[in-house]
Chain A
Amino acid sequence: SQTIHQWPATLVQPVGSPLSLECTVEGTSNPNLYWYRQAAGRGLQLLFYSVGIGQISSEVPQNLSASRPQDRQFILSSKKLLLSDSGFYLCAWSVSSYNEQFFGPGTRLTVL
């Protein structure tokens, strides 16, 4: 069966510090991968998606970036965090864009 892992579960970082969140998927090959953020009181916002290794599409211009160094690994990064980067970050995978998405446990990021 397929599983999706995210870490860390919670993170408190000072403004201006770097960020690296990791997501890995097991039990499937060549999945579509997604990064979402839920800011306080708001819905899920798609940040990045990837349909293959090295292929990243950005949805919202910001100080975040994503990379997919391996088929089942998706990394969300920032060189300098802003206060507005605080939120709940979810990674998800799907077989295709039409199929249901499976979400990881999420990372709660607080930028102080």
Chain B
Amino acid sequence: ILNVEQSPQSLHVQEGDSTNFTCSFPSSNFYALHWYRWETAKSPEALFVMTLNGDEKKKGRISATLNTKEGYSYLYIKGSQPEDSATYLCAFVNDYKLSFGAGTTVTVRA
């Protein structure tokens, strides 16, 4: 079982503020890193698939960066909105499967 860690476990952010959180993963034998958003009462949905060191991807107000040499990825939310409230999961690709972190639960307060 690969060690994929996310921090913090949870955070609260005021509407309009920006925030970021971390995913760390093994730096050897890297293939890809995924980010998913899991809203309450829904299924996880993919945000990003990141494959190259230095990758930076963006979807609306959410962006992610990747450092494969040191084994970490940041996810940023700019100008948080209540609809950004969700658990954000990162997952490390190894062989045919994903190893998920425990997630960071973001709560945006209006």
Contact = CB atoms under 8 A, between A and B. Distances in A.
Interface residues of A, number: 23
Contacts of A104: 43
B52 interface: no
Interface string A25-68: 00000001010100000111110010100000101000000000
A99 interface: yes
Given A90-B43, A90-B44, A103-B44, A97 B95 contact: yes
Contacts of B13: none
Secondary structure of the B side of the interface?
strand
Contact of A106 (B43, B46, B51, B101): B43
B89 A34 contact: no
Contacts, number: 53
B97 A46 contact: yes
A42 to B, nearest CB: 7
Contacts of B31: 97-98
A105 interface: yes
A45 B89 CA distance: 12
B44 A97 contact: no
B44 A43 contact: no
A106 B39 CA distance: 13
B8 to A, nearest CB: 14
B108 interface: no
Contacts of B100: 36, 43-46
Contact of A59 (B51, B97, B101): B97
Contacts of A46: 97-100
Interface of B: 31-32, 34, 36, 43-46, 49, 51, 89, 91, 93, 95-103
9 contacts: A34-B98, A44-B91, A57-B97, A90-B43, A90-B44, A97-B31, A98-B93, A100-B46, A102-B46
The 5 closest A-B pairs by CB, nearest first: A100-B46, A43-B102, A103-B43, A44-B100, A97-B96
